[in-house]
Amino acid sequence: MRIVFHDLTVEPEPWLAELRRAFPQATVQSWQPGAPAADYALVWAPPQQLLDEQPQLKALFNIAAGVDALLKLKLPAAVPVFRLDDAGMAVQMAEYVCQAVIRFYRELDAVEADSRRGLWQQRAPRLRQDFAVGVMGLGVLGQRVLGALHAFGYPLRGWSRSARTLPGVQTFWGAAQWPDFLRGSRILVNLLPLTPETDKILDRRALMSLPVGGYLINVARGRHLVDEDLLAVLDSGHLAGALLDVFQQEPLPADHPFWHHPRITVTPHTSARTLRRESLAQIIGKIVALEAGALPQSLGGWVRTEVGY
């Protein structure tokens, strides 16, 4: 068995070492142009050359939940593609979104600003029923976030491309129900995959459809959001704030207006990080199953031969 690895954002040796421990008889190495034919590839944002040179792969593993980097490429037609189901990211995402929702609902950003100015100022409690949380995207991450928020008693709403039913969540689906979903979501959380259909989905029209005094939490991809439209809607007073963890260009340029806008909080793409051991445990389990003859569609995280959602 031969396994190749390509991810320029991480140090490869720890990944390679764990793969070698799991498959001591295999050849495991970082991919280089002209590498011999491999059985499996673990990648993040691979070059087209890797895919062109490896059309015989038994499976391609995307080292993340989102497959938008693969959507830009031409994939070998017969190669099954897998993305990470969770690998420790769902609980991180739930933590991040819960603290963001609570921060907005309890006005903790304003309380912190008062504290820095030496002001002792209590604020009137808000009505929880006025703060419906709408989650865009009802996959593994979206469902985990909604489950965590349920404990706090917020009204919960969810929107997806196709119909879903979740206990305790008012669900909406498709283009026809998109406006109604937005109008009732005081805090909007974006967890959608980035596809041609969702690119720039958070534009001025969508943001103005949120209730006055609403909030945006974007933890999916920067290209979902039209930056200038968010700035305009915030400056108009229609929205009260935004927490952004993902951006069209990363790292966020030092001169970008998001850094200094009083109603925007920026975090450095840290809402849910890929955890190496958890990710490799999932991938190794799938390789073992495939080698034993399991069908790709019987394994979690299978996207399909042609990438899509």
Size (the chain), residues: 309
pLDDT tens digits for range 185-211: 999 999 999 988 999 999 999 999 999
Q: Give the pLDDT score at 297.
A: 84
Q: pTM score, two decimals?
A: 0.85
Q: Give the pLDDT score at 255.
A: 98
How would residue 182 be classed by pLDDT, with cut points 50, 70 and 90?
Answer: very high
Q: Packing angle between helix 12-22 and helix 276-291, nearest 10 degrees?
A: 40
Q: Give the pLDDT score at 60.
A: 96
Q: Give the pLDDT score at 169.
A: 98
Catalytic (active site) residue 126: no
| pLDDT over 80 (residue 309) | no
In CATH terms, are 2-85+274-304 and 89-266 the same topology?
A: yes
pLDDT tens digits for range 243-280: 999 999 999 999 999 999 999 999 999 999 889 999 99
User: How do the domains of the chain map onto residue ranges?
Assistant: 2-85+274-304, 89-266
Q: Are the C-beta atoms of residues 158 and 138 closer than 8 Å to each other?
A: yes
| pLDDT over 70 (residue 161) | yes
**Which of the following is catalytic: 83, 144, 186, 221?**
221
Q: Give the pLDDT score at 305.
A: 52
The CATH fold of domain 89-266: Rossmann fold (3.40.50)
| pLDDT over 70 (residue 37) | yes
Catalytic (active site) residue 6: no
Omega prior to 125 cis, within 30 of 0: no
Q: Give the pLDDT score at 300.
A: 81
**Which of the following is catalytic: 261, 269, 273, 304?**
269
State the residue for tokens 């706090």. 152
Q: Give the pLDDT score at 307.
A: 45
State the residue for tokens 């029209």. 205
Give, in words, the CATH class of 2-85+274-304.
Answer: alpha beta
